[in-house]
Structure 1
Amino acid sequence: MVILNYLLVCFIFGTTFLAVKIGVDASAPPFLSAGLRFFIAGVILLGWMLLRKKANLSLLLRKELMITGFCLTFGTFSTLYWGEQFVASGNAAVLSATGPMMILLIQLFVMRQKPSPRSLIGCVIGLLGVVLLILPSLTMAWSVWILLGSIAIIMGELFYSSGALYSKKANKYFRDVSPIALNAVQMTYGGLMLLILSACTESWNIHSFQSAGAISSLLYLIVVGSMIGHSLFYWLVSRTTPVFASTWLYISPMIALAIGVLFYDEKITWLTVIGAITIIAGTILVNWGDLKLLLSAKKRAETIEPVSYST
């Protein structure tokens, strides 16, 4: 069951980037699309957790969840949706894998924590991969917008990394609360902020969501991307470790690249492939310490007793 759910998480997260791309290409306003996605998913998940008595409405009054909603949902996805107007979905997925490198940079320059030499090398390799990934776009039409879209997606990862570091400290106040309930509240807050941003910057027109592409994109992202994907992710965290669950970062970008090429006629070059592999390699090096602990823990468990996964 664990392996099956893990593969589902990798596949789902790998497909969401193309779903976002289909929506914005269908002229759905990016901030409005993102806001509807997360606000609706958050409200439904929170309602479900309330019915199961695994959450209470007082969570909506916690500033910690408002801050994580601002970083993890609002900041991350406002930039992703805007950037995907100009950037191919596969490239957007690979650029989103720079999150661990952004965490390292924040720890180095803001928190004054000294990383290991291996992590620093991984960060440099990953940033080199970003350059290789963006380089082909500079010879294409609309290169300025592709470059700005890529920068926006990377900036979104700074929001995500800040939120991840903050939530790690804030979660100590919510030890007895289901992670799914916490995620539902932060998605609700983030979605509401995105809707406010949309109201201030975009024209709300019902005709924007009348196309099959816009409607199918929104429904897929609400149900499969946010509700099922994130719930499976937190189920994996509870059954394994956060490090293991987060290794989707190494697999999903490659799935997104392949899906974009096969089903959406996105163009890919050898330089793009090399850049993608370089970014993933850098991400693995940055997280090598945690991955090594994960592998050693697995080996210890196997020497004590056989590992069995039951449904």
Structure 2
Amino acid sequence: MIALGFTVMCLIFGTTFLAIKVGIDAGLAPFYSASIRFIAAGGLLFVYMLWKKKAALSLLWRKETMLTGFLITFGTFSTLYWAEQHISSGLAAVLSATGPIMILLLQTIRTRQRAPFLSAAGCAVGFAGVFVLMLPGLKLDFSYMWLAGCLVVLLGELCYSGGALYSKSVMNRRPDESPLALNAAQMLFGGFLLLILSLVVEQPRPDQILSVPALGSILYLTVAGSMIGHSLFYWLIAKTNPVFPSTWLYISPLIAMGLGSLVYGEAFSWVSAAGALIILAGIILVNLRSLQTLLVGRKQAAPTPLQNHAESA
């Protein structure tokens, strides 16, 4: 069951980027579709946690929930959904994988302590991979909106990284609270922020979701991406250890890139594939010590760079 759960989680997290692209290409306003997804997913999960008596309504208006929701759901996904109007889903997926590297940089700045050599090398390798990944687009079909899309995804990962560090400190202060309840509450709050943004800048229409591709995109992202995928992530943590489930990060971006090319006809080059592999190599270096711990079978707390990265797409 553990192997099956891990496989399903990797497949879900590897397909959500393409599902976002399908919805946007079907005419969905980016912020509007994101808001529907997270309000629905967060609301259903939070009601379930209330029914299980593992959450309290007061969680919805706590400042911790608001700040986490602003950074992790609103900051990460407003940028990602906007960017996928201008870049491929595979490129968005691999750029989104830079989250652990961003977290290490923020940790280093916050603590004012020098990062270990391998971790610092991992950051350098990762950002070199970002340049290689973007190189074909810079040379062949450059546009300012394409470049803006790439940079906006990286900005969203910076928001995610700040939110992940903050949510980690919240969970340390409140160890008795369910991480799934906290995640549901922050998705709900971030979803309402996305809806407000949509009403201000997009003037969305409900009939946008009536086409089969648009409705299918929202349903898949809500049920599979935000509910099943996240629940499997926390289930695997409970059944194994905090490090193992997070290794999806080395698999799903490659799934997303291959799927976008094979199924959706997105441009693919071996230079881009090399860039993706370089980025993943950098992420492995950043988290090498924890991965070594996983391989030798010793249990210990997961590193901050990989924890709580269930916000795949």
**TM over 0.5, yes or no?**
yes
Deviates more, 1:146-155 or 1:233-242: 233-242
Counterpart amino acid of residue 39 in structure 2: F
Alpha carbons 2:54, 2:181 under 8 Å: kept: yes
Alpha carbons 1:32, 1:194 under 8 Å: kept: yes
Look up the match of 1:246. 246
Aligned length: 300
Cα separation, 2, equivalents of 1:161 and 1:42: 20
**Offset at residue 109 of structure 1 (A):** 2.6
Cα separation, 1, equivalents of 2:232 and 2:12: 10
Q: TM-score, normalised by structure 1?
A: 0.93
Is 1:114 equivalent to 2:131 in the alignment? no
Counterpart amino acid of residue 211 in structure 2: S
Counterpart amino acid of residue 230 in structure 1: H
Tell me, which stretches of 5 or more residues in structure 2 are unaligned? Answer: 301-313
Alpha carbons 2:17, 2:93 under 8 Å: kept: yes
**Offset at residue 113 of structure 1 (A):** 2.5
Counterpart amino acid of residue 243 in structure 2: V
Using a 3 Å threshold, how does the CA distance of structure 1 residues 67 and 299 change in structure 2: closer, same or farther?
A: closer
Look up the match of 2:149. 149
Cα separation, 2, equivalents of 1:242 and 1:261: 32
Cα separation, 2, equivalents of 1:111 and 1:31: 34
Tell me, which stretches of 5 or more residues in structure 1 are unaligned? Answer: 301-311
Counterpart amino acid of residue 281 in structure 1: A
Look up the match of 2:83. 83
Is 1:92 equivalent to 2:92 in the alignment? yes
Counterpart amino acid of residue 286 in structure 1: V
- What is the 5 A alignment of 1:1-311? 1-141=1-141, 143-298=143-298
Cα separation, 2, equivalents of 1:78 and 1:299: 36
Using a 3 Å threshold, how does the CA distance of structure 1 residues 169 and 212 change in structure 2: closer, same or farther?
A: same
Secondary structure at the aligned position of 1:242 is classed as coil
Alpha carbons 2:101, 2:286 under 8 Å: kept: yes
Using a 3 Å threshold, how does the CA distance of structure 1 residues 135 and 142 change in structure 2: closer, same or farther?
A: closer
Q: TM-score, normalised by structure 2?
A: 0.92
Alpha carbons 1:12, 1:229 under 8 Å: kept: yes
Deviations 1:221-245 (A, max 9, x none): 0011001111111111222222211
Alpha carbons 2:243, 2:291 under 8 Å: kept: yes
Deviations 1:204-236 (A, max 9, x none): 112322222111100100011001111111111
Cα separation, 2, equivalents of 1:38 and 1:215: 14
Using a 3 Å threshold, how does the CA distance of structure 1 residues 200 and 111 change in structure 2: closer, same or farther?
A: farther
Cα separation, 1, equivalents of 2:110 and 2:98: 18
Alpha carbons 1:83, 1:149 under 8 Å: kept: yes
Alpha carbons 1:34, 1:191 under 8 Å: kept: yes
Cα separation, 1, equivalents of 2:81 and 2:299: 41
**Offset at residue 298 of structure 1 (A):** 4.6
Alpha carbons 2:293, 2:299 under 8 Å: kept: no
Cα separation, 2, equivalents of 1:95 and 1:114: 25
Counterpart amino acid of residue 163 in structure 2: G
Look up the match of 2:311. none
Deviations 1:251-283 (A, max 9, x none): 000110111111111110010010000000001
Deviations 1:165-217 (A, max 9, x none): 11111112332222211111010011111111111111211232222211110
Cα separation, 1, equivalents of 2:6 and 2:258: 19
